[in-house]
Structure 1
């Protein structure tokens, strides 16, 4: 693990990126530019269209730059992850401690979790229309199911000794939830949020592609229809870089919020 100040970078991850870029350059002489533009062309296209893209007007997009489309997509993902996480975590934690609730929610979560979200998304688009609401709900739907499973598993895996000890010392139920259940399940829940966040980017882009009028997904669809290969690669590159940056920030947040657990394990060892 390479460390630069407070940032840690995985050398294997960097090696993977380097190999991918190297393969890109290797394939250039054997692939028509209409199918595979050079990385330099893609980066130049992205830089020129980041703040203002005249061709977006020609494509009929509501967004007139990559920045505008990216802002819309990022805001949708963050809203959906926040809402979906809140619902999934609450239901997961309560169902782990209330058997009657778990008996009712587990079959639903199991059924819904086995249905591919891309199959369920058209129903949400039909019910709520083609707009921001349906796009956010598609992602929140996926996130809530994911966090329900992670939260419930985290609460089940938490040793009952801790809660029993707290009640022995006279802790009330709210105090047990606040001081034992939430801290004890937080690291695993944060890991689940990070996994859900990683999957939300592609799902958001697909939801925008299916019915929304804004966002990176809509831009990708319009650019692909116009056979603008450089623009398509630029949009995909921008979405991938954004997802990577947000994941690094999420990893840093998870590490900071879970630092107490690392210290406890170190002291115990």
Structure 2
């Protein structure tokens, strides 16, 4: 009897554990988000002055006001355009630069300290310079977003190139392939996982670059909306602009992740 009970125990334990882990992860994420929002709403005005932290209800009201008069859509579109344009430019430049400089070890080691020195400069510090060069229109925001994305894509692609199987490269050379064919058929496909990692890391930084430039000199965009709300001491407006930016960044990252899963579906 005791042996039968012992044989049944793992089945019960495994069944319980399996049902727990089989629940979709989004349920736990939603539950955590609801708990945070409820705690925030209860603490606002009771434990903390609502002037400093606003409240989820006030933020939702402000978002609905902005959606109703069309200002949120306008400012989001401006920031989205700047970010995607900068993201495209920075990503393409980062991949091309890594393929050009990464294939030759001597060239890579020569430019490495210069690239690291420029990378160490805070990108926000470059915003005033870009505004002086390109004015206060869309151009400085796009350039700052591109620079913010470039280095992450460049370094990740460079890391992927180093991980490419050298035997594959040598085999292609023995078959008479030139450098372009080697990069196209061996180096680039082998670096794709690293490139996508750089793209996913670079996308939020593209938003940061565009918004930072908007906060310094702009008349449109989420950065302008945030700065304008802060100037009016509108805490709910600041949080509403930040939540709108977080939502769009998360949505774009999800789209990028799905594109990566589709490209690497052969795995």
TM over 0.5: yes
- Give 3-state SS (helix, strand or coil) of 1:243's partner: helix
Match of 2:81 among 50, 75, 83: 75
CA contact (8 A) 1:2 1:10 kept: no
Could you say which structure has the larger radius of gyration?
A: 2
Task: Say whether the 8 Å CA contact 2:86–2:143 is kept in structure 1.
Answer: yes
In the superposition, relative to structure 1, how do residues 232 and 199 fare at CA in structure 2: closer, same or farther (>3 Å)? same
Q: TM-score, normalised by structure 2?
A: 0.84
1:120-167 deviation line (CA, Å, top 9, x unaligned): 222222222222111111111111122111111110111211112223
Superposed counterparts of 1:203-222, under 5 Å = 203-222=209-228
| Distance (whole Å) between structure 1 residues aligned to residue 62 and residue 33 of structure 2 | 20
CA distance in structure 2 between the aligned counterparts of 1:15 and 1:168, rounded to whole angstroms: 58
Deviation per CA, 1:154-206, whole angstroms, max 9, x where unpaired? Answer: 10111211112223334333322221111110111111011010222222211
User: Could you tell me how far apart the structure 2 residues matched to 1:153 and 1:92 are?
Assistant: 9
Q: Which runs of 5+ in 2 are unaligned?
A: 1-19
Q: 1:158 aligns with which of 150, 158, 164?
A: 164
- For residue 233 of structure 2, the aligned residue among 213, 218, 227 is 227
**Cα gap change, 1:2 to 1:75, in 2 (>3 Å):** farther
Partner of 2:125: 119
Deviates more, 1:249-258 or 1:166-175: 166-175
Q: Number of aligned residue pairs: give it.
A: 247
Higher alpha-carbon deviation: 214-223 or 43-52: 43-52
Find out whether 1:183 has 2:185 as its counterpart: no
| TM-score, normalization by structure 1 | 0.83
Instruction: Identify unmatched segments of 5+ residues in structure 1.
Output: 54-64, 264-269
Deviation at 1:211, TM superposition (A): 1.4
Q: Distance in 2 between matches of 1:156 and 1:35?
A: 49
Partner of 2:152: 146
Cα deviation for residue 238 of structure 1 reads: 0.7
Asked whether 1:259 is paired with 2:265, we answer yes
C-alpha distance in 1 between matches for 2:193 and 2:72: 35
Contact 1:135 1:212 in 2 (8 A): no
Q: Please give the alpha-carbon distance, in whole angstroms, between the structure 1 residues aligned to 2:213 and 2:32.
A: 29
Tell me which moved more, 35-44 or 146-155: 35-44
- Alignment RMSD (CA, Å): 2.4
- What pairs up with 1:1-269 in 2 under 5 angstroms? 13-14=29-30, 16-28=32-44, 29-52=46-69, 65-260=71-266, 263=267
Q: CA deviation at 1:37?
A: 2.7
